[in-house]
Amino acid sequence: MLKTIFTWWNGATPGALLTIFKRGRFVGEDAFGNRYYAAKTIRDGDAGRQRRWVLYKGYAEPSKVPPDWHGWLHNTFVDPPTVAPFKIRSWEKPHQPNLTGTTRAWRPAGSIARTGQRPPAGGDYQPWRPE
């Protein structure tokens, strides 16, 4: 409970939750468990655009929002993906959040963070020798 009150990165703050539940309506949920809300009414200060929110499941990481929901959140699409889903092409890969800093991050060969033996320097390497 204290984590929710004093930090924003562990989820929505109490003020944000109160605003969303008071002024918003549930629109849908994505494969990552993020929940999406839209304003019930358009207020004068919103320049004619509908306010939209996301409540992240777990750690607040914007890269967890898939492209279809991202477009809807930024008013690129009128209808949410629950009403008008994206047409997924055969060449498209499924969305993945940014894995940097996690145990599933990509580590190239020779990286200090990668486990195992580092390969020896190749034959094209010539060490510098002072004259």
The candidate with the shortest Cα–Cα distance to 16, out of 64, 53, 50, 47, is 53
Give the mean pLDDT of the chain: 84
Q: What are phi and psi of 6, to 5 degrees?
A: -100, -5
pTM of the predicted protein model? 0.73
Domain ranges of the chain: 2-73
The span from the CA of 32 to the CA of 97, in Å, is 9
Task: List the chain residues with pLDDT less than 70.
Answer: 1-9, 46, 116-124
